[in-house]
Amino acid sequence: MQIKEITDKTIWEGFLLGCSEKTFLHSWNWGEFEQKRNHHIWRFGFFDASELVGVAFAVKISARRGTFLLVPHGPVLADAALRSLDKKQEALQLLLRKLSEIGEQEKAAFLRISPLWERTEENKKLFQNQGFREASMHADYTYEASWKLNLTIPEAELLKNMRKTTRYLIGQTSRNEDISVEISDNEKDIERYDELNQEIAARQQFIPFSKEYIKNEFEVFAKDRETLWIFGIYKGKLAAGALIIFWSGIAFYHQAASRREFAKLSLPYLLQWEAI
């Protein structure tokens, strides 16, 4: 197996389209987004003979705790390679060797990898054998826990499989004539979303992604028609909003915020249903 840089978007995206375990944090456009943030990035492919069997995206992060290289939700391997201990080990060794070289050049203090691999003893041992240890906290946006919903089943069955309370709230909000839903691909709607984002951040006392961050994310994915805003309106007032990323056959409910004064309306349930 060899590791080589990939500079062709079509090759990168085409490979990922055939992989089961992936998120948009390894998409080509996420790399473009990181470059827009003035971050150095690298895209590598793992080749078994001439066959591409995996990819790895890395980004240089400068933070208070030091400069480091991050591989968000990767490396991503072809389904067959992901089932092979030898292939996973070989890919990980090649990636570690390559990123160690880059890390030395970039004066990085450490390397963080946030794989989507199943948390098994076998996989944990793979990383431990290469000198990795589990981090005490997640790196920025590399969430470990998320829910996946199969959208190929009929709508009626999707509703049937939900909790009774969820079905009730979706139905209740759908029938409320004072509630409407707007779907937009207008980049200027960042202003509307930011209102909600700042309000919920103040209420729940956390530091939100900045308006510039979300604006850049929207603009990069919008170029390939891979993102939309969904807004919930109550009696003409903006009540809730979400940013959805559509990539490689998957929709990601990535950013969301709502106003406290409309909490009893349960609008986020309706927005998620509209996204579905």
Pick the CATH number of 155-275 from 1.10.30.50, 3.40.50.720, 3.40.50.360, 3.40.630.30: 3.40.630.30
The predicted structure's pLDDT at residue 138 = 59
Evaluate whether 88 touches 56 at the Cβ level (below 8 Å): no
- Average pLDDT over every residue of 93-110: 95
What is the per-residue pLDDT across 79-96, written as a single tens digit (0 to 9) for each?
Answer: 998 888 899 999 999 999
Q: Summarize pLDDT for 36-64 with one digit per residue, the tens.
A: 999 999 999 999 999 999 999 999 999 87
Q: What pLDDT is recorded for position 82? A: 87
Structure confidence by residue, pLDDT tens digits, 200-212: 898 888 888 899 9
pLDDT tens across 240-266, in order?
999 999 999 999 998 899 999 999 999
Record the pTM: 0.90
Q: Which CATH superfamily is domain 2-129 in?
A: Gcn5-related N-acetyltransferase (GNAT) (3.40.630.30)
How far apart are alpha carbons 206 and 35 in whole angstroms? 26
Domain residue limits, the chain: 2-129, 155-275
pLDDT (tens digit, 9 = 90+) per residue, 126-165? 999 999 998 876 555 666 677 889 999 999 999 999 999 9
pLDDT at 63: 82
Q: What is the DSSP string of 136-205?
A: SS--TT--S-------SS-HHHHHHTS-HHHHHHHHHHHH-TTEEEEEE--GGGHHHHHHHHHHHHHHHT
